[in-house]
């Protein structure tokens, strides 16, 4: 599995959905833009609705709410995780990554362009706040 790298500084949600759907960043960006979703929109930095809409449009269901992170072992087989949680201008913002469990192996697909490896297993370094289950 080759992780999708975000092509915009604020495109982690689009890249994460591309990672789940097996699409390229440009394919997912085109779909998102056609739906009125643009990575440069600051309201997306603290919103979960647009990743749900992108997945729903592709026929992929998600949990209705966000589930607090308890442990890596308790995560479902596929989940959108919020990491790097912090506040900017009074709003909570985060970075989207995708957790996958395949054949007993667990890893995170992180779309950040600065990483040496975008398939991560350094679980202690990520500190998720909550997740959205991807069915």
Measure CA 130 to chain center: 11
Task: Give the integer Cα–Cα distance in Å for 37 and 98.
Answer: 19
Task: Give the integer Cα–Cα distance in Å for 27 and 8.
Answer: 14
pTM for the predicted model, two decimal places: 0.95
Of 133, 60, 49, 129, the C-alpha closest to 95 is 129
Percent of the chain with pLDDT over 70: 99
pLDDT of residue 89: 85
Q: What is the dihedral of CA 87, 73, 59, 22, to 10 degrees?
A: 90
Give the model's confidence band at 6: pLDDT under 50 very low, under 70 low, under 90 confident, else very high. very high
């Amino acid at each position: 599995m080759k992780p999708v790298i975000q092509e915009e500084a604020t495109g982690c949600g689009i890249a994460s959905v591309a990672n789940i759907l097996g699409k390229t960043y440009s394919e997912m960006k085109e779909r998102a833009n056609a739906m009125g979703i643009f990575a440069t929109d600051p309201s997306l930095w603290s919103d979960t609705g647009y990743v749900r809409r992108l997945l729903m449009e592709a026929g992929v269901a998600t949990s209705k709410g966000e589930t607090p992170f308890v442990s890596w072992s308790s995560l479902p087989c596929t989940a959108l995780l919020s990491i790097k949680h912090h506040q900017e201008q009074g709003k909570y913002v985060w970075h989207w990554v995708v957790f996958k469990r395949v054949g007993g192996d667990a890893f995170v697909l992180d779309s950040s362009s600065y990483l040496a490896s975008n398939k991560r297993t350094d679980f202690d370094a990520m500190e998720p706040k909550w997740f959205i289950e991807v069915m």
